[in-house]
Amino acid sequence: MFNIGIVGAGIGGLSAGLMLKTYGHQVTIFEKKPASFSSGVGIQVSSNAIRILRQFELEDDIIKCSNFPLMVDCINGHSAKKITSIPLGDYAKKKFNAGFYQLHRNDLISILKNKADDIGIKIHYNSAIIDLLQNSSKATLKFENDQFNCDFVIGADGINSLVRKKIFFDKPPNFLKQVAYRTLIPSKKLPQFFSQDKTLLFFGSGKHVVSYPIKDKSLVNFVFCMDSHSYYDNSWTKQVPPLELSKNFSDFLVLKDVFQEIKSLKKWGLFDYPILKKWSKNRVLLLGDACHPILPYLAQGASQAIEDSYVLYQCMKNNCYEDYSTYFLKEYSDKRYMRVNKIKKASKQNAFLYHLRNPILRLLFHFLLKTAGYFPNFILQRFNWIYSGGPL
């Protein structure tokens, strides 16, 4: 068995850690942020990830702290008229052998962390790596006053991965001329419309909005995405004044009550990163956003990190001897690259459709959505390869 160091205690790092520890590997996780750090955002976890987490007895815990959306309502953001509804709930659960869930990111992190603690994984917070070295026999993580030697390092440290920058050829990202805003609002301050068991998807010219309830419907999570020619970096923690958002989305009259209740708003730029074809070099490998950031237009970021973790677990389970280390690393990349690249392309296609500026094309898109709504299985079937696909 291997001694494995994981950089990053997010969804990908914790998922990989607990899966590998379950099989018997020694796992230590290092996180640069404090244990008390809160990302304060909602996330969506789809059936392809839930089927995996079920194998590690985590599904029930997720269900207990999640909202279970019955459908996605697609709405014209300008007129507030519903275009169509896409069924989820029990309909999708039966179709894909698992449900779709919406929850606070911190709740999912807590579930994964509690499982990691239960099986004896050590997690070191406030532990930012300053260097990473490797040779034919080991990898070394260096910290300000210490170092950690191990057989392999997994870089699960997100879109600005230091592991990727240290070990892999890191091409500069391409700003997509799009920005996103995120906020949480207490549901009691909003019309009941926003706290239904639904995902609400508002389309507009060069912009769209997603909202859904979390925390037992006590909060509503909002994500606003829009085209922008002004460069903005990809830090997820920068605060901006709510007035900026209300000006940019003033044509979405259906959201006027929302703008009045925003107290804290974060903004970041959306970038395109080339997906690495090879996700490992010698004794260092990457996972999740560290090697394949995906635009948020399919809500697959967390689910794909969980898929990465399970495929890595499978590859190491089947090839856990030193003589086969190079083989299982290559197998991991090969099994994941095509699927992740296809999901990345599908997400970019959704970005184009959601932000159509040409009024005729937008009208045609809405008409096609409305027509498809008369055949409930049609739209879900289009993404069957995502929700029924993956390693399980």
Contact between residue 161 and residue 289 where contact means Cβ atoms under 8 Å apart: yes
Q: What is the pLDDT of residues 227-252, one digit of tens each?
A: 998 888 878 788 999 999 999 999 99
**Cβ neighbours of residue 330 closer than 8 Å, sequence gap 6 or more:** 278, 280
By DSSP bridging, strand 26-30 and strand 3-7 are: parallel
Enumerate the β-bridge partners of residue 267. Answer: 181
Q: CA 61, CA 391: separation in Å to the nearest integer?
A: 21
Q: Average pLDDT over the chain, rounded to whole?
A: 93
**Tell me: the pLDDT tens digits for 4-63?**
999 999 999 999 999 999 999 999 999 999 988 777 789 999 999 999 999 999 999 999
Residue with token string 């959601």: 354
Residue 356 pLDDT greater than 60, yes or no: yes
* Tokens, residue 246: 């209300």
Which tens digit of pLDDT belongs to each residue from 179-228?
999 999 999 999 999 999 999 999 999 999 999 999 999 999 999 999 99
Architecture of domain 3-172+273-387: 3-Layer(bba) Sandwich (3.50)
3-state SS, residue 27: strand
pLDDT band at 275 (very low <50, low <70, confident <90, very high): confident
Task: Decide if 269 contacts 231 (C-beta within 8 A).
Answer: yes
Burial class (CB in 10 A: 0-12, 13-18, 19+), 324: middle
pLDDT over 80 at 267, yes or no:
yes
Which pLDDT tens digit goes with each residue over 86-136? 999 999 999 999 999 999 999 999 999 999 999 999 999 999 999 999 998
pLDDT at residue 40 in the model: 76
* pLDDT confidence of residue 112: 97
Q: What is the pLDDT of residue 21?
A: 96
SS3 (DSSP) at 10:
coil
Q: How far apart are CA 331 and CA 300, in angstroms?
A: 22
CA 275-103-160 angle, 5° bins: 30
Q: List the Cα angle 115/46/269 in 5-degree steps.
A: 95
Is residue 371 helix, strand or coil?
helix
Cα–Cα distance for residue pair 378/306, rounded to 1 Å: 27
Alpha-carbon distance of 252 to 79, in angstroms, equals: 8
Of 307, 326, 302, the closest CA to residue 316 belongs to 326
Distance CA 19, CA 25 (A): 9
Cα(53)–Cα(62) distance, integer angstroms: 9
In this prediction, residues 290-300 reach a mean pLDDT of 91
Structure tokens given for 17? 């850690």
227 beta partners: 178
- Going 83 to 89 to 91 to 92, the CA torsion angle's sign is positive
Given this model, what pLDDT does residue 374 score?
86
DSSP string, 91-139: HHHHHHTS--EEEEHHHHHHHHHHHHHHTT-EEESS----EEEE-SS-E
- Nearest alpha carbon to residue 153 among 253, 303, 20: 20
- SS3 (DSSP) at 330: helix
